[in-house]
A and B are shown apart, each in its own frame.
Chain A
């Protein structure tokens, strides 16, 4: 069908607007030429250029033309529709037109930024404009769909970011499901003794928030639990959560810990996960004194009852509330939420991957996270910095950038290591009086009070040697190196290779994505950046959103971050989620599929193919019926329908073919 056939009375009136985007487009594309070309296209009434079409005056230009020239179709050639399609549709709406009489041409990302030759760029821009003009003729007025939004939010991950996001939402009166994989919330922050640069006690500022979570009427806290399935879309997610058995009934346990005393194992003898194996626990245990919820759990891998089926079960007798249940099974919970915040955190770099630093070979080489536990008052040594043989170190070396800024592993800077190394240097010196050496590439201390903290450490007499450490060895040359670990490093300020003998080496391991980040990404249908952290929608202007509407990011799952940044981002994610669900509805693109009833033969091909179960079969009329509220506009049924009965708004055959012809006719 040709345009004049459906427009016998003069046809549509089209306006074409070509944006310079400063030099972004005009630096490569001859905008004037594109405009002059557009004027020659059929039904184009007006064509103009402007420096920034998205600016207020740019939009006003469109609105005025719509009113003055009675435009009923608009084409804007500018940047990506993901940035400004909404802007221009709104301008049309304000001028009294249906916003879907609009087509956007991306001549920036698709043309000027990716084309070397100005001539070619201009020709390509013209072809794309010709295509859009032919397509927009066949646009139809459409209405956006409004879908109600579930009033609840899922927060995945109970570290400081997840805790802060959950509390913010709960305080605003929204119900929050907080799901944490470990038996307790608190995350990495719960393992720290002090926080930089203020040296606040980490537990003193974190544990009040943890108990607020436990007590909050608007928070459902599921620890020892994992999300296993996510379906639906913005405003209406259906989520399944697996709650692993703790073999202790959470509702009955009061955390008296008498069962732990009563365990048949008199001494704690199994490596304690929370203390990274530096301490020991029993098969029935609580991760740490302020664990939240304060509920014990049984580890079936070490419990003698689970391993042999023979045990006096003294824990069972000791529990006055009959909370222990050896037969407990995992439970699957199903919830519906309007928004999801991912705050799944990070893992630290595995120091064994750098064998020359001797981690796992020399007992007195520690990771920074292990030293966090050593300096912690509730840690395995009660806060005393002692080596594995019980000695107190006299000389300590802290090696920076372990696994960070290293082409072999991670090119990025982990952002927190310089500052936590300074903190640990201070704490070690304070607790032991040891000489502390920091081996750094560059000191990176941007942040409020951070540079001042670095200055303070310099004043305190901590040593700083600039150079990437070559190796940690027990190869002694001189008598004073005997029995020590020797750090070999090129001191790039002195210009010499140095050997620094120490008693203890601390590896400032970098931050990496969680090992299962990719599975989680798939489950939530979001993207990861190259290094494996979750990808934000825009690095500057949408830092907590993802490319999937309704799913937000907080904390180190999006990239290495310290506590202040994690909390700030968690607050932002909570606010975004709140803005979404508080509105009560979401507007969806009217790009749904529909059935032309007269053409449907009732073959049911589409029904099985629909990934959203949006198509049902009307037995009486023998035709397929699409539920528009469920249709996500994927187009699968449209492509599969053998009789051409399934069609899709905004992707009508006429529109697509005209667009193709537009490009080909020009070329």
Chain B
């Protein structure tokens, strides 16, 4: 199966490590990813609340490009959107195109492609693709350095299973926990896996946004997590980049590495750290890993 890849702005900016690790993992698994040519803003951010039509139009253009560029496997074009906000807004726009015929007609006049059947594009999150298309067994086959002893809190954020629960349970998702087990690590029972990271409130209302992130980080720490993995660039940014600020208000918080889930997969597969963008982490993970392997060696001896 071949996949089109829609990076969105984050994966070229603050979430560069996400793109690097995603591409590295897919390459190592032998799955070709073709970046959507001439893609534009997905239409998320504040667009939706200010001008819904424009927001949908932006997303619709990306779908039209996918329709024009995608190779159809089994009648569906697979479009991977790693950023949760892109993933959700593309799904929303697709539904809008399918239900609002007037909008579809309006768009078909100005967009590339014929917008014949917007439903034939399958918008996929890479987590879904890795766990359900590639499969945990295949991933396990590629694990070179099982992450034994590592305790991982999986953070899904608010957007990838709600409101469209296309591949996991909306209130209690578990795909990443299964993946963590496959990598040899231990999932932490952490009830906050879909609680809010504050979104842009960290910037606009820091007292609210930072507290939300503090609660997430503290609970992961209390439950013994060595690190948090996430699927969303904004979640990752909020949880990682603000830890210094948060600690000024809440001194009981220890540094907690926050990785993209693809970085963790790459680590277990033994891919070089630089290919996974690990050097971009503000809170480095190497220390933890070194401590773990020392403990492991100790235990083995």
Contact = CB atoms under 8 A, between A and B. Distances in A.
B169 A355 contact: yes
Interface in A470-489: 471, 473-475, 477
A474 B171 CA distance: 16
A477 B215 contact: yes
Interface string A442-454: 0000000000000
A549 interface: no
Give the interface centre of B169, B171, B215, B219 by most chain A CB atoms within 10 Å: B171
B170 to A, nearest CB: 9
B292 to A, nearest CB: 26
A473 B192 CA distance: 9
A471 B169 CA distance: 15
Interface in B104-127: none
A93 interface: no
Contact of A355 (B171, B192, B219): B171
A355 B192 CA distance: 13
Contacts of A471: 171, 191
Contacts of B215: 477
Nearest to A474: B191
A356 interface: yes
A473 B172 CA distance: 12
Interface in A351-366: 354-356
B188 to A, nearest CB: 12
B214 to A, nearest CB: 10
Contacts of A354: 171
A354 B192 CA distance: 16
Q: Which residue, of B169, B171, B191, B192, has the highest number of chain A Cβ atoms within 10 A?
A: B191
Contacts of A477: 215
Contacts of A473: 191
A473 B219 CA distance: 12
A475 to B, nearest CB: 5
Contact of A475 (B169, B171, B191): B191
A471 B172 CA distance: 11
Interface string B154-184: 0000000000000001011000000000000
A473 B169 CA distance: 17
A475 B172 contact: no
A475 B192 CA distance: 8
Contacts of B169: 355
Nearest to B218: A477
A351 B192 CA distance: 20
B158 to A, nearest CB: 13
B171 A356 contact: yes
A624 to B, nearest CB: 55
A474 B219 CA distance: 10
Contacts of B171: 354-356, 471
Contacts of B219: 475
What interface size band does chain A fall in? under 10
Interface residues of B, number: 7
Interface string B252-282: 0000000000000000000000000000000
A320 to B, nearest CB: 54
Interface string B185-196: 000000110000
A325 to B, nearest CB: 49
A240 B169 CA distance: 44
Interface in B128-175: 169, 171-172
A635 to B, nearest CB: 45
B127 to A, nearest CB: 19
Contacts of A475: 191-192, 219
Which of A471, A475, A477 has the most B CB atoms < 10 Å from its CB? A475
Nearest to A355: B172
A355 B169 CA distance: 9
A354 B191 CA distance: 14
Interface string A369-394: 00000000000000000000000000
A557 B258 CA distance: 53
Interface in B189-248: 191-192, 215, 219
A321 to B, nearest CB: 54
Contacts of A474: 191
Nearest to A357: B171
Contacts of A355: 169, 171-172
Interface in A460-475: 471, 473-475
A217 B251 CA distance: 79
Nearest to B216: A475
B83 to A, nearest CB: 26
A477 B219 CA distance: 8
Nearest to B192: A475
A356 B192 contact: no
A44 B169 CA distance: 67
B191 to A, nearest CB: 5
Interface string A330-364: 00000000000000000000000011100000000
A509 B218 CA distance: 34
A363 to B, nearest CB: 14
A351 to B, nearest CB: 13
A627 B169 CA distance: 59
Nearest to B172: A355
Contacts of B191: 471, 473-475
A323 B2 CA distance: 71
Nearest to B195: A475
Interface in B13-31: none
A564 to B, nearest CB: 37
A648 to B, nearest CB: 50
B163 to A, nearest CB: 12
A659 to B, nearest CB: 43
A69 B191 CA distance: 83
Interface in A150-196: none
A153 to B, nearest CB: 47
A474 B222 CA distance: 12
B210 to A, nearest CB: 15
A475 B222 CA distance: 10
Nearest to B222: A476
Contacts of B192: 475
Contacts of A356: 171-172
Nearest to A354: B171
A475 B194 CA distance: 13
A477 B192 CA distance: 12
A471 B194 CA distance: 12
B228 to A, nearest CB: 15
A440 B215 CA distance: 28
A354 B169 CA distance: 10
B206 to A, nearest CB: 19
A473 B193 CA distance: 12
A498 to B, nearest CB: 16
A611 B171 CA distance: 51
A477 B252 CA distance: 13
A132 B263 CA distance: 78
A355 B168 CA distance: 13
A269 to B, nearest CB: 29
B78 to A, nearest CB: 29
B221 to A, nearest CB: 13
Nearest to A486: B191
A474 B172 CA distance: 15
Contacts of B172: 355-356
A477 B191 CA distance: 13
A560 B191 CA distance: 34
A360 B124 CA distance: 32
14 contacts: A354-B171, A355-B169, A355-B171, A355-B172, A356-B171, A356-B172, A471-B171, A471-B191, A473-B191, A474-B191, A475-B191, A475-B192, A475-B219, A477-B215
Interface of B: 169, 171-172, 191-192, 215, 219
Q: Top 4 A-B pairs ranked by shortest CB distance?
A: A355-B172, A356-B171, A473-B191, A475-B191
Given A355-B169, A471-B171, 12 more contacts: A354-B171, A355-B171, A355-B172, A356-B171, A356-B172, A471-B191, A473-B191, A474-B191, A475-B191, A475-B192, A475-B219, A477-B215
Interface of A: 354-356, 471, 473-475, 477
